[in-house]
Amino acid sequence: MALREIALRKGCTTGQLALAWVQHQGDDVVAIPGTTKLKNFDENVGSLRVTLSKEDIIEIEALFHADAIAGDRNDHIYMSYVNADTPPLSSWQAP
């Protein structure tokens, strides 16, 4: 909800705000959003018009600090390698 409020204040969507945040991470960082719909492409391009101040960046990052995230990083049910029956590399033979 707080991210949506920031986006509303900035006059953009939450997606545009997220892309703008990435673009404000430095000259060596580039957002590479993917889409198959022209409407979404136009929204993504609109993120280039969103200007974030240092205060905006601090406010956004405060929403996602490490203590704000709860739970396991990955749910082991969905981790395919946990239940995989892959033979060890040493058992592979060169052709």
Q: Summarize pLDDT for 28-46 with one digit per residue, the tens.
A: 988 888 889 999 999 999 9
Could you tell me if 52 and 24 are in contact, meaning their C-beta atoms sit under 8 angstroms apart?
yes
Tell me the pLDDT band of 74, cut-offs 50, 70 and 90. Answer: low
Say if residue 6's pLDDT is above 70: yes
Distance CA 32, CA 35 (A): 10
> Is 4 within 8 Å of 14 (Cβ atoms)?
yes
> Treating both helix axes as pointing N-terminal to C-terminal, what angle do 2-10 and 54-63 enclose, rounded to 10 degrees?
160
What global pTM score does this model have? 0.69
Contact status, residue 21 vs residue 52, Cβ threshold 8 Å: yes
